[in-house]
Structure 1
């Protein structure tokens, strides 16, 4: 479950960064720790009306987790059984956090791999990436075992796959009105009202979803 790809060095590559375009960027000009919000002009069905928590963004590329697209028929207890973490008969004994944990389609890259976005009250040495504002990412099976035992983080979602961008690609998409961005908060990331996340993210930057058109520019 370890994240790999273009963004493997993530937050260690601050030197030489160039600023991202638009408001709400971090102090170094990149969007790690922010929410990315798809504009109506987004014609890629994989990202339509998506809200993405940005886990890494640097001159080497970007990586994020979609937090408002449920994985459909897959639920967390069933996934634990599939991964042989628990027996099927043990599903009824899972702690409440495990029973209620959301499984998301995190993005189109590595869809067979799980990434747990979680509160920073849980940490595994050499496996957990602390991102920003109390949010971390862990992609090893050990965190799933901890959650199943009631010893995991207080808040978490499991994402199958992630969204990734090559160097400069995300900046280009933002310049061409593909995305807006806003500050992250735990409710946007971990909230159970998945269908409302898109509208709530827009409201954080003063926009009602009905105000946007395909010709809209940056807020």
Structure 2
């Protein structure tokens, strides 16, 4: 694959009928994709019973001025590991630029900054991630599993969690109610 074909910075949308119930109506912010594999953060489902204040208290950070927002279910891999997707107006050590979508940070620095009111203006906090080995996501896309939408920061940061999947399809000019759960063959 050429660099232009990699999916970093895109929104991966689960196709209807994908077959894996963990990814039903999933929307994944693709953060890293290269010849070695891919890593994305799920942004379409809230982690039951986990809020930012609770998470901060669990790791010994005073919530301070941080809003008590729900924490997202980032994916089935390393579900205790935290990630922050955020606007580019904050950058700390280890932040990774995910053009054109966002920045990705996994350090405690960003959480401390949010609690102290000096963090990014827009952010999402997730636990876990979705990961694919070399060539795996490409195979799933050929098998009618995923659609790679453009990276729309407004879908990520300005759309309510449960509406992101539909909003991303609509930004692509596609009415998701017209999608079917299986493909045909000629």
Contact 2:50 2:70 (C-alpha < 8 Å) held by counterparts: no
Matched, 1:162 2:138: no
Say whether residues 1:190 and 2:157 are aligned partners: yes
- 1:106 equivalent in alignment to 2:74: yes
- Give the secondary structure class of the aligned counterpart of 1:206: coil
Measure how far apart 1:109 and its partner are: 0.7
Query: CA deviation digits over 1:32-69, x for unaligned, max 9?
Result: 00000000121212111001110011110000011111
Task: Tell me the equivalent position of 1:180.
Answer: 147
Structure 1 contact 120–134 (Cα < 8 Å) conserved: no
Q: What SS does structure 1 have at the residue aligned with 2:82? A: strand
Mark the runs of 5 or more structure 2 residues left unpaired by the alignment: none
**Helix, strand or coil: the match of 2:7?**
coil
Q: Partners of 2:88 and 2:73 in 1: how far apart? A: 22
What RMSD, in angstroms, separates the aligned Cα atoms of the two structures? 1.6
The Cα shift of 1:206 comes to: 2.1
- Does residue 139 of structure 1 match 2:106? yes
Please give the per-residue CA displacement for 1:7-38, whole angstroms capped at 9, x wherever unaligned: xxxxxxxxxxx15xxxxxxx621110000000
The corresponding residue for 1:66 is 42
**2:37, 2:131 within 8 Å by CA — same for their partners in 1?**
yes
Moved more, 188-197 or 160-169: 188-197
1:76 aligns with 2:52: yes
Structure 1: tracts of 5 or more residues without a match: 1-17, 20-26
Indicate how the Cα distance of structure 1 residues 102 and 157 shifts in structure 2: closer, same or farther if over 3 A, else same: farther
Instruction: Kindly tell me the number of residue pairs found equivalent between the two proteins.
Output: 184
Question: Whose strand fraction is larger, Structure 1's or Structure 2's?
Answer: 2
Q: 1:119-152: per-residue Cα shift (whole Å, max 9, x none)?
A: 1111113x11111126111101111111000011
Deviation (angstroms), 1:116: 0.6
C-alpha spacing 1:134/1:63, structure 2 compared with 1 (3 Å)? closer
TM-score, length of structure 1 as denominator length: 0.79
The reply to whether residue 117 of structure 1 matches residue 85 of structure 2 is yes
Structure 1 segments, 4+ long, off by >6 Å, are: none
Q: Using the alignment, how far apart are the partners of 2:70 and 2:119 within structure 1?
A: 14
Aligned partners of 2:159, 2:166: CA distance in 1, in Å?
14
In 2: Cα distance, 1:191 partner to 1:104 partner: 15
CA shift, 1:82, in A, is 1.1
> 1:211 — aligned with what?
178
After superposition, the Cα gap between the structure-2 partners of 1:79 and 1:192, relative to the gap in structure 1 and judged at 3 Å, is farther
